[in-house]
Amino acid sequence: MNIITRVGIFLEQTSLHICPIKLLCLSLGITKNNMTTAPFEHHGYHIDYWVNSKYVGSIKTDTPDRDQTGYVGRQTFTLADPITVNKNGGRDVTLPAGVQVTTELIPICGKIIGDTLEDKLNVLKQHYLNTPYKQRQV
């Protein structure tokens, strides 16, 4: 029985309200998103805003506002003040106060770290071998 089948059975047998992807990551020992340790230059971050599971826009920022990035770092809350987000195409959309939003922090990555092609390939190889799902239990 593979891990996905076990996670599905666990969710059916319990009344937990947890995201299946997050549960899968926890069961595999992935507790922090690898984008924070990715071998790329960081050019900042953007916070995606979702309302009723629909993308409404994003805000660029230089510093992260949370520890985890990507899907595992999602936060849902109700806006206390109106906020203006940038939608694709340069349009600005204002979200009124009282709207429940889900946010996700995404890093903006640049080139692979390294001076020569050989350095870049070695950085990628080491990053690939250090990911939790590639490490073997000894």
Question: Who contacts 63 (Cβ-Cβ below 8 Å, separation ≥6)?
Answer: 45
Using one digit for the tens of pLDDT, what is the confidence trace for 63-72?
A: 888 888 888 8
Give the pLDDT mean for 48-67.
Answer: 91
Phi and psi at 77, nearest 5°, equal -160, 170
Q: What is the structure's pLDDT at 77?
A: 93
Helix (H, G, I), strand (E, B) or coil at 51: strand
Q: How many residues are present in the chain? A: 138
Q: What is the structure's pLDDT at 82?
A: 94
Q: What does the DSSP assignment read for 63-86?
A: S-SSS--SGGG-EEEE-SS-EEEE
Give 40 or 105, the one with higher predicted confidence. Answer: 105
Q: Are 105 and 47 in contact (CB under 8 A)?
A: yes
pTM of the complete model:
0.60
Q: What is the structure's pLDDT at 42?
A: 78
pLDDT band at 10 (very low <50, low <70, confident <90, very high): low
List the domain boundaries for the chain: 1-31, 33-109
Element (H, E) at 115: none
Residue 108 has pLDDT above 90, yes or no: no
Give the pLDDT mean for 91-117.
Answer: 88
